[in-house]
A and B are shown apart, each in its own frame.
Chain A
Amino acid sequence: MPEPVVSVHGLSKRFGELLALDRVDLDIRPGEIFALLGPNGAGKTTLISIVAGLLRATEGTASVLGRDVVRDYRFTRRAIGLVPQEINFDPFFTVEESLRLQAGYFDVALPRERLEEILEALDLGSKRHANTRSLSGGMKRRLLIGKALVHEPKVLFLDEPTAGVDVELRQSLWRYVRTLCARGTTIVLTTHYLEEAEELADRVGVIDQGRLLVVADKDELLRRHAGKTLRVALAAPLAEVPEALRAAGFRLEPGGSTIAAIAPPGASFGPALAALAASRLAVKDLETIRMRLEDVFVSLVRGNGGSRGKGAAA
């Protein structure tokens, strides 16, 4: 097993009475895309802020490439790029100046080719001399990504990078994230969009109320937690489900024209289909639906006490 790029052990953070992180242990592997999922206030931003040096942990340790983020902060911060959740911009400077200044803070004299590459990849070339105040919200967010990349970090933290970004731009950012990953950059992503995690991530961590509930390969997580649903549209509505079908797991859906059965992970619909054939009901249509990451996430968070009752991804 290769050395983790980011490693946190027993990490806790307390804000007054609120325990924002509760003894979190996590290793991020080199070259992977890791998605950190959790409801609002779950502790995602707190966790990456501690690793990036924006917050100090109450307890526990965090390291990047084997070096402690407090003791060796100059080393670890050179290895990290952070795209913060909140959009910020300095209205005194242009896009190009902002990128050059950020590179300078990291002791990097941004080479012309690198600047061009970032501007092109983030579609900001035409705005290079524009004051950052004049950029649209999407452009400002892309500029934040550019600023996080100027020093070619080994690990990039993206804190909800596509919040408020249109579909087309989101797709282009996803492509860019994949390109960065293919070049060896490790990506840690928190996102509002579970679809984003499902699309991009190699591994997923679910965090709620400061506790890391599960860390697993995305596909493994889906296999382990995600069942399937068989939905059958009937030619004529039913008042109630026949006993034989009920025993096979079917339930009547609102309206009476559809019945559905759920198979847990690893189980098949063989017995349900056999019962359906035996019932001689006239079937109009039939579909199987695989549970998605969103369903897995909701069921995990509900299992943890419903994250203060919300269960919504954030």
Chain B
Amino acid sequence: MIGLGLRTLFVKEVRRFLRVPGQTLLSPLVTTTLYFVVFGWSLGSRLKEVEGIPYARFIVPGLVTLGVVSNAYLNSASSLFVMKLQGTVIDILVSPLSYGEILAAFLAAAAVRGLMVGVIMWLVGGVFTGFALAHAFHALLLLVMVAVSFAALGLITAIWASSFEQVNFFPTFIITPLTFLGGVFYSAAMVPAGLRLFTVVNPVFYMVDGVRFGMLGFSDAPPAVGLAILLLLCAASVGGAYVMLRSGYKLRG
């Protein structure tokens, strides 16, 4: 039974991002459309197929994963951090909401935003490359786990951060490089040995690769590896966020 408190915080968090759709939903739509205009239309005919898959179609799972990762992270990170700055975090700190309820509401709302953006990107990609899904459930399961994991990392950052610069540090210097070098735009087999080594030790590669298996039926690594890595990341990030909330670190003096 989900309590009214948890539902209220979840609804509030969802309404918050829906009230600025230009920033939260339309912006990724424009960016993704541009990716497909450039890679699918302008350059598509000059790029090779990857394992028999047109290049524009090959990059769809990576771009969807990238959208889910950044939006799930940004939602929980910016929402909680702004609440800290505005002082409205008091509203939930004085409430009887349990730590688990606060965590669940933030993660669920951020995952909803991440997945909405993911679906928008998939739909845009589908217009250019087709809508067929090889293993739809596998893709959805992985994307939900990606969304929850990065939502939890966003929450951890928001609790720890004291400035916007610190909030932006993680996506700028960690998430974006790991994602772009995690096989969003290439298969591990396509790149030189040095970059391949970097790719195969990058956990994001296995997420992108697993989602690609779900959407296209093709992957560099066994799909179970991506699932296992995501399970570990999910457990560690959600567990870490829970421990930080419960400890009161930087929230309760």
A residues near B (Cβ < 8 Å) are 13, 15, 49, 52-56, 73-75, 77-78, 80, 82, 84, 86-90, 92-93, 101-102, 104-109, 147
Contacting B93 at CB < 8 Å: which of A13, A53, A75, A92?
A53
Q: Are A78 and B96 in contact (CB under 8 A)?
A: yes
Does B135 belong to the interface (CB within 8 Å)? no
Does B248 belong to the interface (CB within 8 Å)? yes
Contacting B86 at CB < 8 Å: which of A75, A77, A89, A108?
A89
Contacting B94 at CB < 8 Å: which of A13, A54, A101?
A54
Contacting B96 at CB < 8 Å: which of A15, A73, A147?
A73
If A53-B252, A55-B252, A74-B98 touch, whether A101 touches B90 (CB-CB below 8 Å) is: no
Contacting B87 at CB < 8 Å: which of A15, A78, A86, A93?
A86
Does B178 belong to the interface (CB within 8 Å)? no
Main secondary structure of the interface of B (DSSP, over half): helix
B245 to chain A, nearest CB (A): 13
Q: Are A54 and B90 in contact (CB under 8 A)?
A: yes
B78 to chain A, nearest CB (A): 12
Give the residue name and chain of the B residue nearest to A80 (CB).
B94
Q: Are A56 and B248 in contact (CB under 8 A)?
A: yes
A262 to chain B, nearest CB (A): 44
Q: Are B88 and A53 in contact (CB under 8 A)?
A: no
Chain B hits for A89, CB < 8 A: 86, 88
Q: Are B4 and A107 in contact (CB under 8 A)?
A: yes
Q: Interface code B1-45, partner A: CB below 8 Å = 1, 0 otherwise?
A: 001110111011001100100000000000000000000000000
Q: Are B94 and A82 in contact (CB under 8 A)?
A: yes
A135 to chain B, nearest CB (A): 14
A56 to chain B, nearest CB (A): 6
Q: Are B88 and A90 in contact (CB under 8 A)?
A: yes
Compute how far the CA of A77 lies from the CA of B101 in the bound complex, rounded to whole angstroms.
Answer: 15
Does B97 belong to the interface (CB within 8 Å)? yes
| Chain B residues touching A, range | 20 to 34
B11 to chain A, nearest CB (A): 8
Q: Are B19 and A107 in contact (CB under 8 A)?
A: no
Q: Are A105 and B8 in contact (CB under 8 A)?
A: yes
Chain A hits for B92, CB < 8 A: 105
A151 to chain B, nearest CB (A): 9
Chain A hits for B52, CB < 8 A: none
Chain B hits for A77, CB < 8 A: 94-96
Chain B hits for A108, CB < 8 A: 4
Does B91 belong to the interface (CB within 8 Å)? yes
Task: Name, among B12, B19, B96, the residue most crowded by chain A CB atoms within 10 Å (CB to CB).
Answer: B96
A301 to chain B, nearest CB (A): 25
Cβ-Cβ contact count across A and B, 8 Å cutoff:
78
Does B192 belong to the interface (CB within 8 Å)? no
Contacting A106 at CB < 8 Å: which of B5, B86, B93, B98?
B5
Compute how far the CA of A75 lies from the CA of B8 in the bound complex, rounded to whole angstroms.
Answer: 19
Compute how far the CA of A53 lies from the CA of B253 in the bound complex, rounded to whole angstroms.
Answer: 10
Q: List 16 A-B contacts (CB under 8 A).
A: A53-B252, A54-B252, A77-B96, A84-B90, A89-B88, A90-B86, A92-B15, A92-B19, A93-B12, A104-B5, A104-B12, A105-B8, A105-B91, A105-B97, A106-B5, A109-B4
Compute how far the CA of A49 lies from the CA of B253 in the bound complex, rounded to whole angstroms.
Answer: 9
Chain B hits for A13, CB < 8 A: 253
Give the residue name and chain of the A residue nearest to B91 (CB).
A102
Q: Are A104 and B4 in contact (CB under 8 A)?
A: yes
Task: Name, among B4, B8, B83, B86, the residue most crowded by chain A CB atoms within 10 Å (CB to CB).
Answer: B8
If A54-B252, A55-B252, A92-B19 touch, whether A107 touches B3 (CB-CB below 8 Å) is: yes
Compute how far the CA of A239 lies from the CA of B41 in the bound complex, rounded to whole angstroms.
Answer: 102
Give the residue name and chain of the A residue nearest to B12 (CB).
A101
Q: Are A88 and B93 in contact (CB under 8 A)?
A: no
Chain B hits for A80, CB < 8 A: 94
Chain A hits for B4, CB < 8 A: 104, 107-109
B124 to chain A, nearest CB (A): 27
Compute how far the CA of A186 lies from the CA of B47 in the bound complex, rounded to whole angstroms.
Answer: 74
Q: Are B16 and A92 in contact (CB under 8 A)?
A: yes
If A88-B88, A104-B4, A104-B8 touch, whether A54 touches B96 (CB-CB below 8 Å) is: no
Give the residue name and chain of the A residue nearest to B7 (CB).
A104
If A49-B253, A88-B86 touch, whether A147 touches B91 (CB-CB below 8 Å) is: yes
B208 to chain A, nearest CB (A): 33
A32 to chain B, nearest CB (A): 22
Contacting A74 at CB < 8 Å: which of B7, B8, B16, B96?
B96
Chain B hits for A101, CB < 8 A: 8, 12, 91
Q: Interface code B53-96, partner A: CB below 8 Å = 1, 0 otherwise?
A: 00000000000000000000000000000010011101111111
If A55-B252, A74-B98 touch, whether A105 touches B16 (CB-CB below 8 Å) is: no
Contacting A105 at CB < 8 Å: which of B5, B19, B86, B253?
B5
